[in-house]
């Protein structure tokens, strides 16, 4: 008997990165600042807000998302008190991204709703579309597929209207992910292909890497594992060239998982172990739990039962801590199956 791992779906989504502002922006007298332009207090306050946003971005780069959220939250509060709609929008959007990365979806929705209201009042159509995309991604995580598709289409219409091709490639990719989650693989591949063309044209290597990974995973879904490997290898090269740790970790994980399906266990373990180290470095706790789960079954299929059980238990604890109930349930069921099988084997 060969115990098969219960599949845990990994959906790679694309969102714009944390927004930072130039020094010139921090010093400018924005039309959205409702305090007097002659007030030295207002200027000092604006610089403080700018500094908080910059510190939040740096903390996120280090993988310290707790501190990043604290900085962005302070910036939101201070910008609101100062009447600076521009910086409040930026800080709230960044706070929403951090909350989404840490699976704090309710908090993320609160920040995104604030951002959306501010962009509509200020008339920033590009940022409005970006925010709609963020909310769409949240709904996708919550499996509200119809809402996610509707929001993404709203974002796409705005981006095409204003000629934002970079944003358009992001939105097309996320529409593809909605179709993937809905089980419509053909439509997903069509939208991924459109997004890939635009991302290559815009010279966005990290985004191309994510798209290639998603297309590869679609081929895996069709049982075409050998077609997936070269796509994932290209994704890994591009992610590394872009120095994007998250995209690199995702490509390593997907390659390892594909080699696992192909029963090339040494290659599988090597790639997933690299992904695990990277995900720990960038504080991607859900990604870490997924890598632990994958490694458990790789070790099991390589005959290291004890290590497999240890890794499954680690993944369960982390899934439980993160509140990812469906993944935790799969890991628990897998552990129970492994323990029962080993107990039966020993008796025989």
Tell me the pLDDT tens digit for each residue of 111-143.
999 999 999 999 999 999 999 999 999 999 898
Q: Is the pLDDT of residue 103 over 90?
A: no
Pick from 333, 287, 328, 335: which is nearest to 311 by CA?
Answer: 335
Residue 8: is its pLDDT beyond 90?
Answer: no
pLDDT digits (tens, 9 = 90+) for 281-332: 988 888 999 999 999 999 999 999 999 999 999 999 999 988 888 889 999 9
Continuous H helices in the chain:
23-27, 40-61, 65-82, 85-101, 105-122, 125-141, 145-162, 165-182, 185-201, 205-221, 225-241, 245-261, 265-281, 285-301, 305-322, 325-347
Reading phi first (left if > 0) and then psi (alpha if -120 to 50, else beta), residue 28 is in beta
Kindly tell me if the per-residue pLDDT of 33 is higher than 80: no
Asked if 141 and 178 touch (Cβ cutoff 8 Å), the reply is: no
Cα separation, 333 vs 326, whole angstroms: 11
* Residue 262 phi, psi (nearest 5): -85, 0
10: tokens are 């990994």
Residue 2 burial class via C-beta count within 10 angstroms: exposed 0-12, middle 13-18, buried 19 and up: exposed
- Domain boundaries of the chain, sorted by first residue: 17-123
- For residue 165, what are the contacts with CB-CB under 8 A and spacing of at least 6? 159, 198, 201, 202
What predicted TM-score, i.e. pTM, was given to this entire model? 0.73
CA angle 95, 54, 164 (to 5 degrees): 65
In 3D space, the residue among 43, 36, 68, 74 whose CA is nearest the CA of residue 55 turns out to be 68
| 248-252, 258-262, 339-343: the lowest-pLDDT one | 339-343
Contacts of 74 (CB under 8 A, 6+ apart): 52
Residue 173 contacts by C-beta under 8 Å, 6 or more apart in sequence? 13, 14, 191, 192, 195, 199, 207, 210, 211, 214
Query: What average pLDDT does the segment 232-250 reach?
Result: 94
Neighbouring CB atoms inside 10 A of 79's CB total 28
The yes or no reply on domain 17-123 and CATH 2.70.50 is no
The residues facing 33 across adjacent strands are 84
Model confidence at 101, pLDDT cuts 50, 70, 90, reads confident
The end-to-end CA distance of the chain, in Å, is 13
The confidence score (pLDDT) of residue 6 equals 56
Q: Which of 145, 200, 132, 201 is nearest to 176 (CA)?
A: 145
Least confident piece of the model among 8-12, 148-152, 234-238: 8-12
């Amino acid at each position: 008997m060969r115990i098969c791992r219960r599949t845990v779906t990994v959906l790679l989504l694309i969102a714009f990165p944390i927004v930072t502002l130039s020094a010139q922006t921090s010093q400018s007298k924005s039309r959205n600042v409702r305090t007097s332009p002659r007030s030295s207090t207002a200027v000092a306050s604006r610089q403080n807000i700018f500094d908080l946003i910059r510190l939040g971005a740096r903390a996120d780069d280090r993988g310290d998302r707790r501190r990043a959220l604290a900085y962005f939250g302070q910036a939101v509060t201070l910008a609101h008190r100062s009447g600076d709609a521009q910086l409040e929008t930026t800080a709230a959007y960044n706070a929403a991204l951090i909350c989404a990365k840490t699976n704090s979806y309710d908090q993320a929705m609160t920040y995104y709703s604030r951002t959306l209201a501010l962009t509509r009042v200020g008339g920033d159509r590009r940022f409005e579309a970006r925010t709609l995309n963020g909310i769409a991604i949240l709904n996708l995580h919550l499996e509200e597929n119809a809402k996610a598709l509707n929001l993404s289409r709203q974002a796409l219409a705005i981006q095409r209207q204003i000629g934002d091709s970079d944003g358009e490639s992001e939105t097309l990719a996320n529409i593809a992910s909605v179709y993937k989650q809905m089980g419509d693989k053909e439509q997903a591949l069509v939208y991924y292909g459109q997004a890939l063309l635009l991302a290559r044209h815009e010279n966005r290597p990290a985004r191309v890497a994510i798209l290639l990974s998603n297309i590869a995973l679609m081929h895996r879904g069709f049982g075409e594992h050998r077609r997936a490997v070269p796509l994932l290898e290209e994704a890994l090269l591009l992610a590394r060239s872009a120095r994007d740790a998250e995209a690199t970790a995702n490509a390593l994980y997907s390659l390892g998982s594909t080699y696992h399906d192909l029963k090339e266990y040494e290659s599988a373990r090597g790639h997933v172990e690299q992904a695990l180290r990277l995900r720990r470095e960038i504080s991607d706790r859900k990604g870490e739990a997924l890598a632990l789960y994958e490694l458990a079954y790789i070790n099991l299929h390589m005959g290291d039962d004890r290590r497999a059980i240890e890794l499954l238990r680690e993944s369960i604890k982390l899934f439980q801590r993160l509140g990812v109930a469906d993944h935790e349930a799969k890991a628990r069921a897998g552990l129970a199956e492994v323990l029962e099988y080993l107990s039966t084997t020993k008796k025989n």
